[in-house]
Amino acid sequence: MKSDEERVALVTGAGQGIGTVVARRLAAEGHRIGAHFFHGEETAHALVAEIQASGHDAVAVYGDLTQPDVPRHVVAKTVEDLGRIDVVVNNAGVTFSIPFRELSAAEVDECYRINFLAPLWVTRAAVDWMVAHGQPGSIVQITSVHQERVTDRDNIYGAMKAALARLTESLAYELAPQQIRVNCVAPGRIDTPEQAARRNSNPNRQRQIAAAIPIRRTGSSEEVAEVIRWLASDESRYVTGITVRVDGGLNLGMSQAVIDGRPHFI
């Protein structure tokens, strides 16, 4: 075990997609990593082995964050294994794209639990530990450009991301005296393995999407991870309560999309 002076970062949903890349980037920066997973067990354990092989401490922490006691358990397990907690990246989430009149009560509940309640209670558990130990910290919520913009069928998903962003502002204000910063990162269209599968199944659609983004390409998980690294570091020590959009200017093009007659922006 390395010195307790080395920061510990808990990344939820580290078993796949952006979460895996974020955990790897924070480890490269010197953080010890709590890699939470619910899906992607094999990837999470491979990630932990990779980080350990690079000379950094890492542990895999399993848990279904939609269950009431699991968020506190995930934080407690991270602290138990790594000694402290300095950074939380609430990355775990599920995208919902279902017409409003087709939504079931179970789908609404699932979206609410994983995209809003889970980051709320993980944040609460981590903040409780930080305050009790006089420990400054950085909380990063992964939201979405859908917190600000409307597309077809993003109803409950967009609402939950908007709610999380609004909660972040209140928490940033409330926790600033304890030197705990709370910010959001809102990705746009990012090339994850899931997006790669869609790209391969419909390359023309993906070219249309890229053309609708002002920078004229989709983003990478590494580009999202770099912003998170900055928010987790002392480089951003005077930054709290904001949302950083990592979207290639996607939100800037909404009005032109309407003028051009494109009803589905992305």
**Which amino acid, residue 236?**
S
CA–CA gap between residue 213 and residue 257 (Å, rounded): 10
Burial of residue 234 (number of CB atoms within 10 Å: 0-12, 13-18, 19+): exposed
Strands (E), 3-53: 8-11, 32-37
CA–CA gap between residue 107 and residue 68 (Å, rounded): 17
Question: Annotated catalytic, 62?
Answer: no
Contact between 52 and 44 under an 8 Å Cβ cutoff? The reply is: no
Strands (E), the chain: 8-11, 32-37, 58-62, 87-90, 137-142, 180-187, 190-191, 219-220, 243-246
Contact between 123 and 72 under an 8 Å Cβ cutoff? The reply is: no
Catalytic residue among 62, 112, 157, 238: 157
Active site residues: 157
